[in-house]
Structure 1
């Protein structure tokens, strides 16, 4: 019996991953890379940006289907004024996963923004920060790679850490 992963690595069609939607929030360099790479990994993608001056796919989560249980919401800019409202709406829709980019050494601005909107602390705690695997990401493509790798690990029921040491 051959390893199915080996066959896929050599071009054999693999098992289709379960349907997932990646909602990239805010038009940004990281969102651009996420939207470009995520379909290759089995994600349907949506760009959400409430700013009418930006050419986004949707303006609010209300523009998406009601059933977002398979959606991973990735906030790609934590400096935008709309941060709190977008996160509040995502948490109210009961999406599968919500994450915000940011430095883990500092409290994220989403915490105060959500508190100001009356979002209970247990709901604020559902927001993942930082997002992705800890690979020392700095550039937009690195952040997107780290984020997608973390979402893939989660989708596949894995921790995302190294499975073994050097061989």
Structure 2
């Protein structure tokens, strides 16, 4: 009997401690996992888990209506370009980490690229359940729990 691969696909954008935890836990939760890292110098050092695939561009990540995309760094200069590209896909859910009490830098980056407000509003921020996450693993757990709740139409949600 052949195992059935889940259609769920988690894409973590940018190599970071949070993306490592997201990909590791995502695999255990049945997601097909991909790391998108446009800057190869960010991958220096000892080999680390990168899920099922490592690509340098979102267009190589096989995005479908079953895909959840999480940007794990809101300070990178590529956020506008990557989010604009993500918004042009069939991704089910798109989010970026950040403080819920401040407008994210992705908003201005997308405005500068001419992305309409209704499209910008599709980018979730904050991400994850409000459990007081502090460490990369806690942030990953909160994010994945929120994605699972959202997929299952449960009230876990993303409300703060």
TM-score range, shorter chain: 0.7 to 0.9
1:62 maps onto 2:59 in alignment:
yes
Q: Structure 2: how far apart are the matches of 1:135 and 1:89?
A: 30
Q: Structure 2: how far apart are the matches of 1:52 and 1:101?
A: 21
Structure 1 unmatched ranges of 5 or more: 1-15, 162-167
- Native 8 Å contact 2:6 2:32 kept in 1: no
1:50 maps onto 2:11 in alignment:
no
Deviation at residue 19 of structure 1 after TM alignment: 2.0
Residue 72 (structure 1) aligns with: 68
Q: TM-score, normalized by length of structure 2?
A: 0.85
1:116 maps onto 2:112 in alignment:
yes
Structure 2 unmatched ranges of 5 or more: 44-49
Residue 5 (structure 1) aligns with: none
Aligned residue for 1:74, secondary structure, equals strand
Whichever of the two has the greater Rg, that structure is 1
Residue 36 (structure 1) aligns with: 24
Q: Structure 1: how far apart are the matches of 2:57 and 2:6?
A: 25
Indicate the structure whose relative CO is greater, using CA pairs within 8 Å and at least 6 residues apart: 2
Moved over 3 A (4+): none
Residue 138 (structure 1) aligns with: 134
Paired positions, count: 145
Q: Structure 2: how far apart are the matches of 1:77 and 1:124?
A: 17
Deviation at residue 64 of structure 1 after TM alignment: 2.1
Q: TM-score, normalized by length of structure 1?
A: 0.82
Post-superposition CA distance 1:25-75 (Å, at most 9, x none): 00000000011111111111000011132347111111122x511100001
Cα RMSD for the two superposed structures: 1.6
